[in-house]
Structure 1
Amino acid sequence: MKQKTLATAVSLALSLLVLDAYSATPVQDRYYPLTPGDPLLSQQWFLQNTGQNAFSKSGGVPGMDLNLDFTTQRGIRGVGVTIAVIDDGLEIKHPDLAANIKRGSKNFVTGSDDPSPDSPHNAHGTAVAGIAAAVGFNGIGGRGVAPKAGLKGYNWLLNQSFEGFLHSHGKLPGDPPLQAHTDSRVFNQSYGSPSLASNNGDVVSNLQLQLEEQVYEEVTRHSHWGRGAWFVKSAGNDYQAVSVSLDDGSPAYLLPFVRGNDGLPMQDAGLDPTNSNYWNIVVSAMNASGVRSSYSTVGASVLLTAPGGEYGTDSPAMVTTDLTSCESGWNIKGDSSTTLHGGNAIDPNCNYTSRMNGTSSAAPATSGALALVASANPALNWRDIRHILIKTARKVDASQPGVQLSFNGKDGAAQKYLAIPGWQKNAAGYSFHNFYGFGLIDVDRAVEAALSYARPLPALEISDWKQIDANVSIPDASVKGAESSYQQYENSTVEAVQVRLNIDHERAKDLSVELISPSGTRSVILSARTGLVLESKGFTEQRLLSHHFYGEKAKGQWKLRVIDTNGANAPYNVLIPNPRSVETVDQVNNSQDGFLKSWSIRFIGHK
């Protein structure tokens, strides 16, 4: 894995986030309680939130869940849809998963068809699978979001070859063009990498990344006889701190020096090139109280939010499948952090956990929801169901104000900047928030819309990249910022917008980048005060993505603004847990103003 060196000589490697880790419908207004039959179901708040504590010290807010009660009563449970779990393995003989396992799993370490983990610590993929599609109504354990969907497992995270990527992501090696593998229809990717430096044009210059994106596009658009597939992607777990690794592989954490990082995330979701990839459905995490999970990475590339929980001690995490036996997974002897662990009357064989969390959990909750909607109306294609999820999402945390940033300019004058806006309704009538995308997935509403859906979207069109030579200075510590504009003459309806940046700046983490549509919608496509502590040159073809303009018209003047939000020194901390120590690194301010050299834009949408 790629390593980076801090100025302190502490060498850090980018680490996978995988192994972590609106008004809701009131419960009393629901006429269809979930059908019983699984003893842990009553604690699975993401399926039906009654305020239960899920084996933690406190409960959540009733109604803050996926709202799938009526869908369950209708018998819509994911039949005919297979979910590929691309992870660290999958215990295919787990008693609450085995009945849903389909042929075609792969172990990329041994070459066998059994991806069950050899290590007792590789429990992540099994927990992910349980959230998406644990077997329901069988009298044991809990239940998945889509309890009759199929499951396949790939331990690609343990051996990340390109051939393994092709196989696990739906394109078998040797397949002819446009003949994408048609077995799995949902691909769950509960992984990613935080960034300590910019990508520096990786998507443009890296051939493998280009080939991977071709696979994403081909499988999304052309598999399943043209109905397509979905790739679901975790946004990240780096709002409060960035997980890194020391040279010896031991964990460490990049922490803000200012408490809470002035309320801003330590990582913007769009900095991960797989999150600025249009073909991925990027999801953030919500906790049982109906607000952003404390760790959840956010940004304009987030499309939707789904349950992820907190840590399972003070407040609920997710109750799901664990590696079997008390010697494996979260149930390894000695973990008595919740009453579920270690074996008890509800789970005598230690086959379950109540500690799974992260955007790693929000992703399979989304994958299961997709399986339900797709099984409700199998004729719908990938874009129409994506559109349905956007239209039917619920606005949670409706009063969330965003993040207001205060700092001093170079002249000492106080500067105020809305660094992340609250909920905004765009010109097409869609409400969007960088924390939640278009909101919390609402399965019952989405299924109802799918069953009556009669007007497919027009054909997808992707414009060519248009480059704008800006050549403008970025004032240090000033809300005035640098501004450049582009006139789009062709009209289309926007579904997403991608931007590439070329910026010279000695301290890239100071920068906030906004894109403003002809209709006046302001999208923060890169938030300031991120963990880009290793980036001292700026951005080269840095790609970012925004869904904020969904449904708006593309024609007119688009504006890009770059704001430098800090004129002072910017220290940060590195926490090393074992033995515990904290090292503070002080980064001096840039010696000269930054410079917006050029930027490019392209539109994804339809006529």
Structure 2
Amino acid sequence: RHGTRCAGEVAATANNSHCTVGIAFNAKIGGVRMLDGDVTDMVEAKSLSLNPQHIHIYSASWGPDDDGKTVDGPASLARQAFENGIRMGRRGLGSVFVWASGNGGRSRDHCSCDGYTNSIYTISISSTAESGKKPWYLEECASTLATTYSSGESYDRKIITTDLRQRCTDSHTGTSASAPMAAGIIALALEANPFLTWRDIQHIIVRTSRAGHLNANDWKTNAAGYKVSHLYGFGLMDAEAMVIEAEKWTTVPPQHVCVENTDRQIKTIRPDSIVRSIYKATGCSDNPNHHVIYLEHVVVRITITHPRRGDLAIYLTSPSGTRSQLLANRLFDHSMEGFKNWEFMTTHCWSEKAAGDWILEICDTPSQLRNFKTPGKLKEWSLVLYGTSIQPYSPRNDFPKVERVRSSPVEDPTEDYGTDDYSGPCNAECSKVGCDGPGPDHCTDCLHYYYKSKNNTRICVSTCPPGHYNADKKRCKKCSPNCETCVGGHSDQCMTCKSGYYLNEVTNSCITNCPDGFYLDKNKIVCRKCSENCKTCVEFQICTECKLGLSLHGTKCAVRCEEGKYHNGRECEPCHRSCATCAGAGVDACINCTQGYFMEDGRCVQSCSSGYYLDHSTESGYKSCKRCDASCLECSGQGDRNCTSCPSGYNLDTGVCVVGTVCKDATEESWAEGGFCMLVKKNNLCQRKVLQQLCCRTWDYLDNSQECQLCDASCQKCIGPELDNCISCPLTRVFDDGRCIMQCPQGKFEFNRQCHLCHHTCLDCSGSEPNKCTACERDRRGIERFLYHGECRESCPPGHYHSDHTCMACSVHCEVCLNSSHCKRCFRGYYLTQNICQKHSCREGEVEDPDSEDCIPCLDGCQECEFDDPRICITCIQNYYMYKHHCYKYCPENTYRDESSLQCRDCPSNCDSCDKDKCDSCREGFYLSGGTCVSECGAGFFTDDISRECEPCHRSCATCVGYSYDNCTGCKNNFHLSRGQCLNPRNSLPSGKFWS
């Protein structure tokens, strides 16, 4: 519908007796469909570069949202499309891009924040009502070049044009109607003179547009004599004047671009104040190829930080005194992003001189909506001056500016199209206000919601469609491109994601892979955060890698302090001075001892206690005190043959403690044998309690009253009545710290019928070494440990999971798993499918991806590529050519195709494109001459900045600046130079002149 209406304005057939006559009724017109899907940079670039040799004028009535808060412009591909169109479109004359300046007036928008209308390559067109008053929707900015008629208030007429279903409408509105009107007028000028360049057309518009009856408070006359306004540019376009001017136009001189030095002096922007920065421009007078004397476009490239961008206004004053408002306050712009290398453009200095003092002013008017008190800063700014080094107008181009006022009918109380004579039923989504057709796009107002395309067509819907959210006033706006549902248009306002993307639960953005510190949930739709110290994990509490400074203890990440310190829950603190390593504070928490101290039952001592000996065989580099054998009171080493003293009732015999003679146990026969016991008996020593210790039985002990008392039933021998007073045990029991027990307790093992401590890492063991553990839990440091091949480790090795503090094997080839049947990641060389690890078998043209553990294709065109980098090609498929380890179907810029080696070869250094033998086009600053690129053309040639070639001068010239006979700068023999012409001296001279 929108396109049909615009097309009718431009090219409706003459004498059609049906509706209206197009401005350029001989023109051919077509539509480029681009707004019915996602409008990406690629879509824009393809649309702007469609058939640039066939299409002369591109008329565009779209751009960023006119919401008074957006700052946006063409991305890299679209910018390249503009530049290519200007440089090569229309066979080097340049494509003409006509752009609607925007309908954001009600939102107090400013078209300088629209990078499309703000471009030097586009002709930005505003609107005026038939009364000459400013329409309610109009945006103001210094980049607007001119204006045409459109709708205004309700009493102003709108634009008559063709409509859908072969109808005629009188309600076409907005700048969307003005831009095609301008395109039609430009088409008339090109019909009159098809050799006009893109810059010729802008010059003609500037020279022929009229202020006339247009009402604006800011009309001013610049130093070159042109009236100009921020509302209407240089005024209302005049079709007749443009055609007359085009017919006799001489192409303007080549465009020069002067990039002045960047002013990087940082200045603070304080509330309710103005920051001024003055730059003395030279117009690049020291560089002939860039020297600008007469201005066309002026661009300010600027970087500003600010707590509320909408509070800023920016002005630029030229050396001639012309003041352009580059930015006005924007009520709805709450952004804290400021501007980063944003380009503001003004046309108001057209034809003024470039050199002199340029004044940049930034005004900060704080609104009540500002929350932050931090002042803004002007980080840097620079000028880019576009123009010519010589006067652009020859005498033939002189054109007196005569103001012509014509009354011309042209409304729009709303952004929608006006109502036509439709009397049928409205769509169910239309409100009671009515409609002008049967579809949901014909509603005058919507019952529930609507979404809006860039050409202002509104579609009424019951709920916002996928990829949209309810913004305000019933409008559905687009979510960020990867969102399925959202609460706002930013990338961090997603609620659910499109297929192939996962929602980051922290940032609310949609991403293709979960980053470090996140894992994919069971439903495979949300990236959830790992527990605090995990770098990677497979579930919230199951870490597989830890952050820097932490170590994996089972499935958790904990702080590992340096040796000599322990972690108190907040930080690492030094151990007790006697500890080399410890599990906590105090002398009882030592794990290993410092030099000069020895470990004894968990304490560090300077010398071994009675009943202990110093073990010189080091464990983990540390000596320790070990308990003597139970038969010894004191000893010098391990076992029962290193005793140095014995308990009561035992005698030391060559390092062994043996039971002393007990006469009470002796039989009558032993008495009869005589000896020591005979002496005891004859002298009644037992009855007299002399040498009483010899009179007690083996299982008795001598109490303090020198009476023999019975040991505890568990002891074989003892030194007292308690359970832990045993000194030897019967064969059915084992000795453990003075007790005779049935079996050693947890944490000890049996050796020679005695219980010995396990290694400190073991919960239970079969020996004292660290690889003799049989069960694990937490060690003395409180660190969880897991049994693996007899060792209690801090974590299970790859390919294992833990269950009850035991490392169990994952399924075959699985590196990380939750249990034996649930694999999460495979070892390299295998990929995961249905919890099973399968061997990779990549096909030709594929390599294994070490990150995703999958087969990924080599870069496009590769037949074979590097194993560890699919971007590096080894060989190319058929019809592709190798260049710097990449395969190309078409060789890149600055290269040519070598069929013999199937490679792309570099062009000579100054060529932009070439073949094997010669250059076809040249780089910036060079010109094509006889198949080579030169910086200066030889005698008899001039540099053509449009074709970038050395073109021959007119045959009468020896040197020249153009191909015309009157562009000579030097003459051949016998000819003389006069006003750019080489004349025969035999021809008469004007009166008062002589040859020199």
Pick closer, same or farther for the CA change 1:465–1:134 going to 2, 3 Å.
farther
- Paired residue secondary structure (1:157): coil
Q: Aligned equivalents of 2:215 and 2:36: distance in 1?
A: 42
Q: Is contact 2:45-2:77 (8 Å) kept? A: no
Deviations 1:305-338 (A, max 9, x none): 1112236x5321111111116xxxxxxxxxxxxx
Pick closer, same or farther for the CA change 1:529–1:302 going to 2, 3 Å.
same
1:169 aligns with 2:9: no
Query: What does residue 463 of structure 1 align with?
Result: 258
Query: What does residue 384 of structure 2 align with?
Result: 602
Pick closer, same or farther for the CA change 1:399–1:190 going to 2, 3 Å.
closer
Question: 1:210 deviation in Å?
Answer: 2.3
Q: Is contact 2:192-2:247 (8 Å) kept? A: yes
Structure 2 counterparts to residues 415-430 of structure 1, below 5 A: 422-430=218-226
Deviations 1:136-155 (A, max 9, x none): 21221111111121011111
- Paired residue secondary structure (1:592): coil
Query: What does residue 375 of structure 1 align with?
Result: 191
- Paired residue secondary structure (2:259): coil
Question: 1:380 deviation in Å?
Answer: 2.2
**1:297 aligns with one of 110, 115, 139:** 139
Query: What does residue 451 of structure 1 align with?
Result: 247
Query: What does residue 270 of structure 1 align with?
Result: 112
**1:322 aligns with one of 148, 154, 163:** 163
Pick closer, same or farther for the CA change 1:474–1:396 going to 2, 3 Å.
farther
- Paired residue secondary structure (2:207): helix
Question: Where do 5+ consecutive residues of structure 1 fail to align?
Answer: 1-122, 173-180, 242-265, 326-350, 402-421, 570-586
Q: Aligned equivalents of 1:213 and 1:603: distance in 2?
A: 19
**1:356 aligns with one of 159, 172, 176:** 172
Query: What does residue 613 of structure 2 align with?
Result: none
Structure 2 counterparts to residues 62-141 of structure 1, below 5 A: 123-141=1-19
Question: 1:530 deviation in Å?
Answer: 4.4
**What amino acid maps onto 1:469 in structure 2?**
R
* TM-score using structure 1 length: 0.60
Query: What does residue 487 of structure 1 align with?
Result: 280
| RMSD (CA atoms) | 2.0
1:391 aligns with 2:270: no
- Paired residue secondary structure (1:463): strand
Q: Aligned equivalents of 1:465 and 1:532: distance in 2?
A: 30
Deviations 1:169-207 (A, max 9, x none): 2345xxxxxxxx3111000101111355464xx66xxxx
**What amino acid maps onto 2:320 in structure 1?**
S
- Higher helix fraction: Structure 1 or Structure 2? 1
Q: Aligned equivalents of 1:239 and 1:148: distance in 2?
A: 35
- Paired residue secondary structure (2:16): coil
**What amino acid maps onto 1:487 in structure 2?**
K
Query: What does residue 35 of structure 2 align with?
Result: 157
Query: What does residue 471 of structure 2 align with?
Result: none
Q: Aligned equivalents of 1:267 and 1:128: distance in 2?
A: 24
- Paired residue secondary structure (1:466): coil
1:182 aligns with 2:24: no
Select the structure of larger CA radius of gyration.
2
1:239 aligns with 2:105: yes
Question: Where do 5+ consecutive residues of structure 2 fail to align?
Answer: 285-291, 390-996
**What amino acid maps onto 2:105 in structure 1?**
Y
Q: Aligned equivalents of 1:238 and 1:468: distance in 2?
A: 32
- Higher strand fraction: Structure 1 or Structure 2? 2
Q: Aligned equivalents of 1:355 and 1:440: distance in 2?
A: 21
**What amino acid maps onto 2:340 in structure 1?**
T
1:440 aligns with 2:236: yes
Work out the number of aligned pairs and report it: 379
* TM-score using structure 2 length: 0.37
Question: 1:565 deviation in Å?
Answer: 2.4
468-477 vs 392-401, greater mean Cα deviation: 392-401
Aligned identity (percent) is 31
Q: Aligned equivalents of 1:588 and 1:381: distance in 2?
A: 47
Query: What does residue 26 of structure 1 align with?
Result: none
**1:553 aligns with one of 353, 356, 380:** 353
Q: Aligned equivalents of 1:165 and 1:133: distance in 2?
A: 24
Q: Aligned equivalents of 1:477 and 1:161: distance in 2?
A: 40
Q: Aligned equivalents of 1:166 and 1:536: distance in 2?
A: 30
Question: 1:465 deviation in Å?
Answer: 5.8
**2:339 aligns with one of 528, 539, 546:** 539
Question: 1:161 deviation in Å?
Answer: 4.6
Q: Aligned equivalents of 2:318 and 2:296: distance in 1?
A: 13
Query: What does residue 325 of structure 2 align with?
Result: 524
- Paired residue secondary structure (1:150): coil
Query: What does residue 96 of structure 1 align with?
Result: none
Question: 1:164 deviation in Å?
Answer: 3.8
**What amino acid maps onto 1:236 in structure 2?**
G
Question: 1:486 deviation in Å?
Answer: 1.6
Q: Is contact 1:398-1:423 (8 Å) kept? A: no
Q: Aligned equivalents of 1:125 and 1:398: distance in 2?
A: 28
Pick closer, same or farther for the CA change 1:396–1:591 going to 2, 3 Å.
farther
Q: Aligned equivalents of 2:196 and 2:377: distance in 1?
A: 47
- Paired residue secondary structure (1:605): strand
Deviations 1:118-138 (A, max 9, x none): xxxxx1111111111111212
Query: What does residue 177 of structure 1 align with?
Result: none
Query: What does residue 83 of structure 2 align with?
Result: 217
Question: 1:399 deviation in Å?
Answer: 5.5
Query: What does residue 229 of structure 1 align with?
Result: 95
Question: 1:540 deviation in Å?
Answer: 1.7
Q: Is contact 2:313-2:329 (8 Å) kept? A: yes
Structure 2 counterparts to residues 201-216 of structure 1, below 5 A: 209-216=75-82
Higher relative contact order (CA 8 A, sep 6+): 1
**What amino acid maps onto 2:191 in structure 1?**
S
- Paired residue secondary structure (1:385): helix
**What amino acid maps onto 2:378 in structure 1?**
L
Q: Is contact 2:132-2:214 (8 Å) kept? A: no
Q: Aligned equivalents of 1:501 and 1:195: distance in 2?
A: 22
Q: Is contact 2:41-2:75 (8 Å) kept? A: no
Question: 1:513 deviation in Å?
Answer: 0.2
